Amino acid sequence: MTAVDDLMMRRALDLARLGTGYTRPNPLVGCVITHQGRIIGEGWHRQYGGPHAEVNALESVSEPALLPHSRVYVTLEPCSHHGKTPPCADLLIAKGIPEVVVCNLDPNPLVAGSGLAKLRAAGVQVETGVLEAEGRWLNRRFFTFQEQKRPYIVLKWAETADGFLSGRFYQPVQISGNLARMAVHQWRGEEHAILVGTRTALHDNPQLNVREWPGPAPIRIVIDKNLSLPPTHHLFDGSQPTLVYTYRQRATTGNLGYVKLSEADDLFPQIMDNLYRRNVQSVLVEGGPTVLNTLLADGLWDEIRVLRSVNHLGAGVAAPRLGLMGLHEQFPLGSDQVYVYLKNDGY
């Protein structure tokens, strides 16, 4: 890998990141086209169902005559099958691209090496693995979904300096500051779905939408085993797609869907399997201690984000304890501190 390869692939990864929240369940992909070390075109996958990164990059080139003498950098293996759009591998071949540099191979069985094989069979020089770790981290949701057959799971909670999630008897209290609240709304827009349990839905009556940051609203998920939540709560207002996981039978109406689960089987594996079959790529869990501690005990998580306030509460509902778990990252957010933990630090 040359210094130029590194620079151009980093630019492609930066472009790919611009699609965060909008391409799901498709991956984030960026593409840079160069001629003699100079960028002549670039693009990214902007939204699900829209043109892929390679298409947008090729269309941005003002001198198409340079394409047969160019070098293309793309963060994920060009697709080789017809989906919402035609195969990008075929397009690159048709444009006479002689060299393609790829960050990550596509784990999707519909591609999984066939895109590169098609390019090489047409005489295209292909290099792979450039900034591979950075690419896997960027698309960690996509890779987890494809490889583990479940959504990428982010556990998030806010706690006081003395370790409480809420007041006594789950009374809601303001814990985090304004910047932290904005960050949470940004995080919501980055994930495909957001999940809470019965107690959080009952006591907090959350809207679970994106209000304080630009971004798409996630699918709302609530666990309501016995359908005990008041129908007047925000979760049932029909304003965005909402799934209720329950042990009872109830018909789906409009944006509000009900999924009956088996009482004989563990709850969360059933939910994650159902979400996988629904093509939901990631879940932000904003639940209370029961939901959070269950997922922690089951090892059913990928990332944890803890917002810790400087304020003390003195008494209340205790936050989960992470023991000696290794810290991946810590940074300030206004008066709060954010602590990030990763289950797999090998991306």
Residue 53, number of CB atoms within 10 A of its CB: 28
Peptide bond into 25 cis (omega under 30): yes
Check 54, 159, 286, 303 and give the catalytic one. Answer: 54
Q: How many residues does the chain have?
A: 347
Residue 126, class by beta-carbon neighbours within 10 Å (0-12 exposed, 13-18 middle, 19+ buried)? middle
- DSSP state at residue 258: E
Residue 198, number of CB atoms within 10 A of its CB: 20
C-alpha 47/C-alpha 111 separation (Å) is 20
Please report the DSSP string for 263-297 in residue order: TTS-HHHHHHHHHHHTT--EEEE---HHHHHHHHH
Please report the DSSP string for 35-97 in residue order: ETTEEEEEEE--STTS--HHHHHHHT-S-GGGGGG-EEEEEE----S-SSS--HHHHHHHTT-
Closest CA to 301 of 189, 192, 155, 137: 155
Which H or E run includes 298? helix 289-298
DSSP-derived pairing of the beta strands 152-159 and 125-127: unpaired
Q: Which two tokens stand for residue 184?
A: 């949470």
Is there a catalytic annotation at residue 147?
no
Which positions are annotated as active-site residues? 54
